[in-house]
Amino acid sequence: MPKDMPQDMLETLTRLITGQLHLEGPLLPILQAIQAELDHVPEQAIPMIADALNISAAEVHGVMSFYHDFRSAPAGRHIVKICRAEACQAVGGAALADAVLADLGVAWHGTTASGAVTVEPVYCLGLCACGPAAMIDERPVGRIDAAGLKRMIAELDQ
Amino acid sequence: MKIYLSQDSAAKALGAEEVAAAIRTEAEARGQEITLVRTGSRGMIWLEPLVEIEREGIRIGYGPMTADGVSGLFDGSAPDLGPVEDIPFFAAQTRLTFARVGRIDPLDLAAYEAEGGLSGLRRALEMTPEAIVEEVKASGLRGRGGAGFPTGIKWDTVRQAEGARKYIVCNADEGDSGTFADRMLIEGDPMALIEGMVIAGLAVGATKGFVYLRSEYPDAIAVLRAAIARAEGAGILGDVMGSGRQFDLEVRVGAGAYVCGEETSLLNSIEGKRAVVRAKPPLPAIEGLFGRPTVVNNVLSLATIPVIFEKGAGHYAGFGLGRSLGTMPIQIAGNVRFGGLFETAFGMPLGRLVEEIAGGTASGRPVKAVQVGGPLGAYLTPGQFDTPFGYEEFDREGALIGHAGIVVFDESADMRAMARFAMEFCAVESCGKCTPCRIGAVRGVEVIDRIGAGDASAVPILRDLCEVMRDGSLCALGGFTPYPVLSALDHFPEEFGQQREAAE
Ligand SMILES: Cc1cc2nc3c(=O)[nH]c(=O)nc-3n(C[C@H](O)[C@H](O)[C@H](O)COP(=O)(O)O)c2cc1C
Ligand code: FES
C-alpha cells in the first residue's frame, strides 16, 4: 500500500474499487468509477486495483493505457470532443477543428492555460447526419460552426 | 394538447432541450394543459428538433423547431409539415426494426405493448429452443454489425455447445463513422433490444446478457439502464414473464477504442483485458466470454428478433433481394440535404438512396464519392449508383455495406486526404497484435505523404502495402483499411499523381 496517500484518498479508492468487485470482469468498471469521481485514475490506484484483483500492476497499467478514455493526470474542467471522422469531414469538420484548436492555442489532447478546457479528438459521436458534431462534457452539439463552438466554449464556467 | 418531441441525442444536439423548455414555459404562461411526450427520433434529422402535435389522432409535424418558434405552436401560426408519417422520406420506408422509434416514449412499457411489443417474446416462450432457432434461420436475418453472418446459424452453434453457463453479448460499440442506428434504436426503443436479447437467451440456453455500449453515447447509456430497470420491475428480465426461466442483463460501457467493436476484442474488454483481437478459432460461439459459449450480435440484429417473432419469419423474409432478406436501417450522413435513418427492404439502388432519398448534397454541388460501411468501407462513385443495396451486390463492386452507413461527399472532397485518413485512423485504433495492421497503417500514412509530395513511384508501394494488410491482418481493421484506400486510388488516380486510364 502506498504510504504517502492521504487517508481520505485511500478511503475513496477503496470504496470505488470494492464497489465493483461483485461484477464479472470488474477492471474496466473500476477504472471508470475512479475516473468518474476523481476525473482521472491516479497512479496510487494502480497497485490497489492490482491487489484487489490479484493481478500484476503492469497488467492494470497495460489495460489502462490501451483505452483512449483513461487519463492518469487531471484534465481541464470541461472536455470538448470534436469529431474527426469521415461524415463530419464531408461537411467541414476538419476546418472547424483547426479553427477551434488555433483559437484555444492547444493541440489535440491539450488543455488551455486557464485549465478550463481539454480538447479531445473523437471518431464519430453518432451525430453524422447533423455534422460537424462535437460534445461538450456530455452535451451533444450538432451542425456547429467554428464561431458557434468557440462561443459555447467561452460560455462555459460563466 | 398532446405534444411529442424527440429526446434523441441528435435532436438534443440541434436544440431539442431548449424547445422542450420553451414549450413548458409557453403552456404555463397560457394556462394551457399539455402532455409532452419525449420520444426517440423519427430519423428525419434535418427536421430536428421535430415537434409533433396530435390532432384527431393524427400527428402533425413542425420542424426544425426553435425555442422562439414555440409560441406559434400555441397560437396556430407555426407552419406545419402535414402528417409526419406522410412526409415522403418517412412514407417511403418499411419500418420493421424501427417501427416504434419516434412514436413512443422509450420507457413506456404500456405504449411498447400497444405497438406490438412483447408479443414476440410471448410466442417464443411457447416454443422449444430448436424451434426458436429455426424461426430465426427462416427469417433470413443476417448480422447487421457488418459481416452479414446468418444469425440463426450462429445461435444454433451456441445452442448446441456444451456449457454450464452461456452468454448473450450485444455489440453496441457502433464505431463506424456515418452510423447511428444502434444509438437511435437504444435511445428510441430500448425494450426491443431487451426483448430480442431475452429471446436469444431462451434460444441458446443463456441466462446472462451484456450490452457493450460505447462511452461516446452517454444518452443511450442512460436510457438503456433505465429501460433495464423497468424491464426488471415488470418481470421481463429476471424470471422471464414468470416462466421460471432466468435472464439478466447488464450494461458495460466502452472506453473509447474502435477495435472493441470487433467481437473478440470486445469480449476481452468485458473480461477486463487489453482489447486485443483473439485468433479464431475458437469461435466465440464455442469459447466466448470467460471461455463460455457466447452469442455476439449487433444491436440491430437483436432488436429485429421481436418483430420476426411477432409477424412471423415468412413476413420478414418476404422483403429484400437475393440472399439479403428483410429490411436494413440505412443511415444517410455527410454532405446531404436529407440526412437520417431510412429503413427499407434490401435492394434499393445506391443512386436512388443518394439522389432521391437523401436529396443529393447539402452544398448543392455534384456528388463526388460516397463511402458505405464506415471507415473500412470502399468509396463508390456515381458510376456505381445502380448497385442494389445488398451484401453480395456490394461485394461484387469491391465494396461492403457494413453497418449500412452512407457518407456522401461533394466534389470538394480531397480523396488522397481521405485515403490518408483511413490509414491514420487504422494506426490510431490498431490493437497492435498483428504487424500488418500495427506497422502497415503507419507506413501507409508515410507512403501517401510521399505520393502527396510528388513521388509517383510510391504508388506501387502503396498497392503492395495494401495487399499485405489485406491478406496478413488478423481482423478486418487492418484487413479492410485497404478498401477505402484502394478505391480512392482506383477511382481518382489523378489525385495520386497518376494518369487516369482511358476507359474506366
Ligand atoms: C474493427 C472492427 C470493428 C467492428 N465494429 C463493430 C461494431 O461497432 N458493431 C458491431 O456490431 N460489429 C462490429 N464489428 C463486427 C463484429 O466483429 C461482429 O461481426 C458482429 O458484432 C457480429 O454481430 P452480427 O452477426 O449481429 O453482425 C467490427 C469488426 C471489426 C473487425
Ligand atoms: S462522423 Fe462525426 S458524428 Fe459521426
DSSP B97: T
Looking at CA atoms only, how far is residue A115 from chain B in angstroms?
A: 23
pTM: predicted TM-score of the whole model, two decimal places: 0.97
* Contacts for A23 with CB less than 8 Å, ≥ 6 apart: A29, B250
Q: What is the Å distance from ligand 2's center to B312 Cα?
A: 35
The tens place of each residue's pLDDT in chain B, 504 residues long, gives: 999 999 999 999 999 999 999 999 999 999 999 999 999 999 999 999 999 999 999 999 999 999 999 999 999 999 999 999 999 999 999 999 999 999 999 999 999 999 999 999 999 999 999 999 999 999 999 999 999 999 999 999 999 999 999 999 999 999 999 999 999 999 999 999 999 999 999 999 999 999 999 999 999 999 999 999 999 999 999 999 999 999 999 999 999 999 999 999 999 999 999 999 999 999 999 999 999 999 999 999 999 999 999 999 999 999 999 999 999 999 999 999 999 999 999 999 999 999 999 999 999 999 999 999 999 999 999 999 999 999 999 999 999 999 999 999 999 999 999 999 999 999 999 999 999 999 999 999 999 999 999 999 999 999 999 999 999 999 999 999 999 999 999 999 999 998 776 544
What residues of chain B lie within 8 A of the CB of A130, using their CB?
10, 13-14, 45-46, 48, 339
Cβ-contact B89, B342 below 8 angstroms: yes
Helices (H), B69-150: 70-75, 88-91, 109-114, 119-125, 129-139
Q: Using CA positions, which residue lies closest to atom 18 of ligand 1?
A: B263
| Total residues found in chain A within this entry | 158
Cβ-contact B331, A129 below 8 angstroms: yes
Cβ-contact B312, B300 below 8 angstroms: no
- The residue whose CB lies within 8 Å of the most ligand 2 atoms, and thus the one to mutate among A91, A128, A130, A149, is A128
Cβ-contact A154, A147 below 8 angstroms: no
Q: B174 and A68 in contact by Cβ < 8 A?
A: no
Please name each of the domains of chain B with its CATH number.
2-91 (3.40.30.10), 109-317 (3.40.50.11540), 320-410 (3.10.20.600), 415-503 (1.20.1440.230)
Ligand 2 site residues, Cβ closer than 6 angstroms: A 83, 85-88, 124-128, 131, 133; B 177
Q: Which one, of A6, A74, A67, lies nearest residue A37 by Cα? A: A74
Disruptive mutation site among B407, B423, B438 for chain A (greatest number of A CBs within 10 Å): B407
pLDDT band of A5, cuts 50, 70, 90: confident
Q: What is the Å distance from ligand 1's center to B317 Cα?
A: 23
Q: What is the Å distance from ligand 1's center to B283 Cα?
A: 14
Residue pairs spanning A and B at CB distance below 8 A: 153
Task: Please give the grid coordinates belonging to residue A49.
Answer: 486495483
Q: For the complex shown, is ipTM > 0.85?
A: yes
Helix (H) or strand (E) holding A135: strand A134-136
Q: What is the DSSP string of B228-259?
A: HHHHHHTTSSEEGGGSS-EEEEEEEE--S-GG
pLDDT band of A2, cuts 50, 70, 90: low
At residue B500, the pLDDT reads: 73
Cβ density class B8-25: b for 16+ within 10 Å, e for less: bbbbbbbbbebbbebbee
The Cα-based distances of B338 to B9, B28, B331 in angstroms read 17, 34, 11
Q: Kindly identify the ligand whose nearest atom is closest to the C-alpha of B263.
A: 1
Cβ-contact B386, B355 below 8 angstroms: no
Q: What is the Å distance from ligand 2's center to B180 Cα?
A: 9
Q: Using CA positions, which residue lies closest to atom 23 of ligand 1?
A: B297
Q: B216 and A67 in contact by Cβ < 8 A?
A: no
d(CA A96, CA B281): 44
Ligand 1 lined by B175 (C-beta under 6 Å): yes
Cβ-contact B82, B350 below 8 angstroms: no
Render pLDDT for A97-143 as a digit per residue (tens, 0 to 9). 999 999 999 999 999 999 999 999 999 999 999 999 999 999 999 99
Q: A124 and B409 in contact by Cβ < 8 A?
A: no
Q: B218 and A133 in contact by Cβ < 8 A?
A: no
Render pLDDT for A11-46 as a digit per residue (tens, 0 to 9). 999 999 999 999 999 999 999 999 999 999 999 999
pLDDT band of A87, cuts 50, 70, 90: very high
Q: Kindly identify the ligand whose nearest atom is closest to the C-alpha of B180.
A: 2
At residue B498, the pLDDT reads: 87
Residue A157 has pLDDT above 90, yes or no: no
Ligand 1 lined by B429 (C-beta under 6 Å): no
Task: Please give the grid coordinates belonging to residue B30.
Answer: 397560457
Output phi, psi for A156, to 5 deg. Answer: -65, 150
Residue type, B18: E
d(CA B338, CA A130): 10
Output phi, psi for B456, to 5 deg. Answer: -70, -20
Of A27, A90, A126, the CB nearest to B180: A126
d(CA B316, CA B310): 10
